[in-house]
Structure 1
């Protein structure tokens, strides 16, 4: 069973300040670690308790860091690994979520894939997802029908010059997301496989709206 390391989590506030507050879980990209997205915390609404977690797998040598699933060639992805990592994130939320009135996910690249996969797996348990420079995994999930009925909010941001994500995945996501979620987001001219200040501003606005809702 795939699990997340509870000792490899960075929290924005100590335990005494987490009760009754909304929870936002950060999911880093391929070959990175829990420290990567934690630098976004000052740019996110202060109302959230933020937990930045470490992916459970090690990428293939010589790539450093951690991964959510194995990348095999341009488009090769193991659906079992994708789902196992999404389930591990949900198990982590069950463990630490406590009385959080709102739980959302924010992922970059591979982490963006897992943020959507977890949302698809539990449409009524995850309030929203932010997918930065990622995509929706093309393998169907049994609860996709339920997801389309719930239509939770999703922000999808990506760079127009992103050379990393295969175009077929982008095309699939552009068609799939509006059919299943309440979609907002932008394509940022001049941006590659990264996050810009403009995109962070848009993410902040999106997250603030989730708090209001």
Structure 2
């Protein structure tokens, strides 16, 4: 699961608007979860505010056979039986930090080449949520906000965490009470870390598994609408 080129492929990105209609508009980038691709979260576009230009990117790695789709970082080191998880679980904390950081760095490299949007927000699911938050930590000034659905914050310290804590950008964190994919230790770490570093909002959805519900989508839309109002001021 270590390709020779771990950069994002600019030819497989799905955009909600053609190039001529993107100038000057805020950009919302969608980062999918493990075993998926750019088509997955793009299905959310009709439920999101259409003032955003939306881009859905494909993670650069290929999971081990027989898993299909793509991945942002390896999860091979985790003993899934220990957390009762199916494939798609987060990497173990001691293995995941470098992989999540490398994935976020590759994403930022793609972003630098892909757009000059005046404002950029992130929406990631599971692995994509972890990468979104890691990108926010790497470049706190670059991103207006982040939405983390069924994801987590990677443990460990990064050089600009204090700067992020000073800026406190808005972050929405949604997860379900029946999500058995993200280990409880990472949920606990995220619950402690996020309020100290970002302006946190979100909900825990009763009965929701490792997925996105209509109720959660409605909350995300409200969050994004508020972000548009702030960017317009």
Bucket of the pairwise TM-score, normalised by the shorter protein: over 0.9
Whether 2:98 is the aligned partner of 1:80: answer yes
Unaligned runs of 5+ in 1: none
CA offset at residue 79 of structure 1?
Answer: 2.2
Q: Tell me, yes or no, if structure 1 residue 8 matches structure 2 residue 8.
A: no
Q: Deviations over 1:55-93 (max 9, x none)?
A: 011112221110000002145233222111101111122
Please tell me whether residue 122 in structure 1 is matched to residue 126 in structure 2: no
1:189 equivalent in alignment to 2:206: yes
Residue in structure 1 matched with residue 82 of structure 2 by the alignment: none
Query: Which of 58, 65, 80 is the matching residue for 2:62?
Result: 58
- Which residue does the alignment assign to 2:107? 89
Structure 1 residue corresponding to 2:216, chosen from 186, 189, 199: 199
RMSD between aligned residues: 1.0
Distance in 1 between the 2:10 and 2:98 partners? 22
Q: Does 1:21 align with 2:39?
A: no
**1:34 and 2:38 aligned:** yes
TM-score between both structures, scaled by the size of structure 1: 0.97
Query: Deviation at 1:94?
Result: 1.3
Cα separation, 1, equivalents of 2:156 and 2:63? 21
| Structure 2 residue matching 1:210: 3-state secondary structure | helix
Report how many aligned residue pairs link the two structures.
212
Counterpart of 1:105 in structure 2 is 122
SS at match of 1:7: helix
Work out the CA distance in 2 between the residues paired with 1:195 and 1:78.
24
In structure 1, the residue corresponding to 2:98 is in which secondary structure? Answer: helix
Q: CA deviation at 1:8?
A: 1.0
Gaps of 5+ in 2: 80-90
Q: Following TM superposition, where does structure 1 have runs of at least 4 consecutive aligned residues deviating by more than 6 angstroms?
A: none
Aligned counterparts of 1:127 and 1:212: Cα–Cα separation in 2: 12
* CA shift for structure 1 position 95: 1.3
